[in-house]
Amino acid sequence: MAVARRLPSGTVTARLADIAAQAGVSEATVSRVLNGKPGVSAATRQSVLAALDLLGYERPVRLRQRSAGLIGLITPELDNPIFPAFAQVIGQALTRQGYTPVLATQTPGGSTEDELVEMLVERGVSGIIFVSGLHADSTADRGRYERLRGQGVPFVLINGFAEGVRAPFVSPDDRGAVRLAVTHLAALGHDRIGLAVGPKRFVPVMRKIEGFTQSMREVLGVTGEAAERLIQHSLFTLEGGRAAASALVDAGCTAVVCASDLMALGAIRAVRERGLRVPEDVSVVGFDDSPLIAFTDPPLTTIRQPVTAMGQAAVHALLEEIGGTPAPHSEFVFLPELVVRGSTAAVPGGAAGGGQPGGAKGERRVAGEEQPSPRGTADVRDPTGG
């Protein structure tokens, strides 16, 4: 992170060129913004201020914005790169609306979600966004969210659904995500496909299992009982993926669908520990399309979670709640995308089946246009349905 630096009077002219180049505008425009002069559009002004921030220079006092309020953002961890990705999107969206995001993250042996909520409420936040919180745990007490609402604090919940909780929910289509992966692998000739997921008590896991058993039956004719035997539960970590994939590969699976990109990296390690190759012997599919995952070896085929659209939708819903125009207390479900890279290939010793097989390493194909929403990004669905 850059350290804020003041602009010494003797070097202002020299620095204007740097800021102008970063913002893509003229030095004269930069000068007008820094001196608070009119004649500059809001978008251009924002570009100059962003360039100032990126280059590590302190904003002039006259340009410092007064925060509209604090918004809490609670994540379960930051080790999984999908959570920093959500934090970045949500933080930027809040900042554009004049709010100051306050990131609160759980750590092993550290503060619990309830303690973080208490801390944020004590600091007078205007609202809270939860990412993959206890609302996704079917065994957790849902009363905590009603108590929060009773304190007059609006909130939005990302990834997961809790029946009876009066709040907007934002989720990816977990069932559809696994269906995309199974269909892709079946088109490559795989019929022994395994699923590596987290603990069954989590709502996204339940939905992925439903999508897996349904698509295995519809695409490959595998019965529900047989499909259940191809599911391994573990942790959403590299080691968790390694353990789950070890069991699946030992059971004869030629392809493994993982519930996170970290699990997929662990699965690749498990395959290689057995003297096998990815994708020549075993294909691996991840979930999330985390930052930098395209640069692994091999580049990971994965299901892209629409982080940007989901994060922006969560902010929009929360600001509606704060503004007194409540968003629908239902679930906004966003369609995932299949991103084909280098970790999937035709089943060893056989030809690919029907459909469109994946391409060579580095190829990037996106699929998942099953049901376009009215706005092109999300559907509001019955959370108990498909």
Element (H, E) at 312: helix 307-322
pLDDT in tens, the chain (386 residues): 333 444 444 445 548 888 888 889 998 998 888 887 888 887 788 788 778 877 877 777 666 555 568 999 999 988 899 999 999 999 999 988 888 999 999 887 888 999 999 999 999 999 999 999 999 999 999 999 999 999 999 999 999 998 889 999 999 999 999 999 999 999 999 999 999 999 999 999 999 999 999 999 999 999 999 999 999 999 999 999 999 999 999 999 999 999 999 999 999 999 999 999 999 999 999 999 998 899 999 999 999 999 999 999 999 999 999 988 877 888 999 999 999 999 999 998 765 544 333 333 444 444 443 333 333 345 554 444 43
Q: How far apart are CA 99 and CA 91, in angstroms?
A: 9
Q: Structure pTM?
A: 0.77
In three-state form (DSSP H/G/I as H, E/B as E, the rest C), the secondary structure along 14-64 is HHHHHHHHHHCCCHHHHHHHHCCCCCCCHHHHHHHHHHHHHCCECCCHHHC
CATH class held by domain 9-63: mainly alpha
- Sorted by where each begins, the domain ranges of the chain are 9-63, 69-172+308-334, 174-305+336-372
What the block records as the tokens of 42 is: 């809001």
Topology alike, domains 9-63 and 69-172+308-334: no
Q: How far apart are CA 73 and CA 91, in angstroms?
A: 8
What the block records as the tokens of 88 is: 């970045």
Fold (CATH) for 174-305+336-372 = Rossmann fold (3.40.50)
The residue whose two tokens read 């079917």 is: 138
Fold (CATH) for 69-172+308-334 = Rossmann fold (3.40.50)
